[in-house]
Amino acid sequence: MENHAVIDFAFAHSHCQQCSLFPYCQPTVKRCGETEKFHEIKTQNLKIERGEHLFRENSPFNAIYSIRSGSFKTYTNSEFGKEQILGFYFSGTLLGLNALSTMQHIESALALETCSVCKISLEQLEKLKSSIPAVQPALLRILSEEIQYNHQQLLMISKKSAEARLAKFLLTLSNHFRKRGFSATEFNLSMTRNDIAGLLGLAVETVSRIFTHFQEAGLLTVNRRNIVLLDIDGLMKSSSEHTAQPLDNYIVQKKVAS
């Protein structure tokens, strides 16, 4: 088990704004005059270095984690020791909720960069739910969003076209950042091409080739890990199952139009 840097602090308003629970329960907390109860909840601020695990597959479930900054990948290992990427998580999202039913983590969470994480122990979570009724439906909504996210991952993998998978992946990231007040058209990819390929069920060479094609089509620019989306509509067309093959035609059309 890794030793993470830990700082105790009250669950104060400035920190709560980074939490996935905030948009759901904060309005009710204010309306019901439960702000003081909300601030009494104690959490831990963890600093997770790149390459460290937040938790590992099959480890006991004892807390949920709100990502305040940075990003993680979740994965599981097959019986043959092969790593299967399950998803990527960024600031403003919760990790660990899917272990509630078994009280054991079903996946591992690895930091892709230096991260700041708010740890809410099960004891504090129960205190939060019992003292502030708004938290219970908030958790249910977040669980619902987690199910939808996993559904989107399955849809990406099930798409026949490799171009459609990568386009959908980039649009999913764009939508995530937009919802949290960040740029929807320019962001850094903290994960490697190998990780992206692993999530999408593609060869890493295929991922690199499609990035090149997307650049030639004027859909985006890539500078190392920095991505600038230039043509959201074009990416949406590429992500459609019905436009799996015409990417080369789209490149030609763009060149003719210019």
**Residue at token pair 């903290």:** 190
- Is-contact 247 239, C-beta < 8 A? no
pTM summary value: 0.77
Whether residue 109 is predicted with pLDDT greater than 90 in this model: the reply is yes
Query: What is the C-alpha to C-alpha distance for residues 90 and 188, in angstroms, rounded to an integer?
Result: 11
Q: Which tokens in the block code for residue 162?
A: 């490799």
More confident residue, 158 or 179: 179
Q: Does domain 5-154 have CATH number 2.60.120.10?
A: yes
What whole-number distance in Å separates Cα of residue 66 and Cα of residue 92?
Answer: 7
pLDDT tens per residue, range 24-36: 455 444 544 455 5
Go through the chain and tell me how many residues it has. Answer: 258
- What digits encode the pLDDT tens for the residues 173-199? 999 889 888 899 999 999 999 999 999
205-232 pLDDT, tens digit each = 999 999 999 999 999 999 989 999 999 9
d(CA 179, CA 195): 24
- Range 87-111 burial, b when 16+ CB lie within 10 A, else e: bbbbbbbbbbbbbeeeeebebbbbb
DSSP the chain: ----EEEEEE--HHHHTTSTTHHHHHHHHHHTT-HHHHHH-EEEEEEE-TT-EEE-TTPBP-EEEEEEESEEEEEEE-TTS-EEEEEEEETT-EESGGGTTTTB-SSEEEESS-EEEEEEEHHHHHHHHHH-TTHHHHHHHHHHHHHHHHHHHHHHHH-S-HHHHHHHHHHHHHHHHHHTTS-SSEEE--S-HHHHHHHHT--HHHHHHHHHHHHHTTSEEEETTEEEES-HHHHHHHHSGGGSSTHHHHHHHHHHH-
* Domain ranges (residues) in the chain: 5-154, 160-257
CATH 1.10.10.10 fits 160-257, yes or no: yes
Mean pLDDT of 128-137: 70
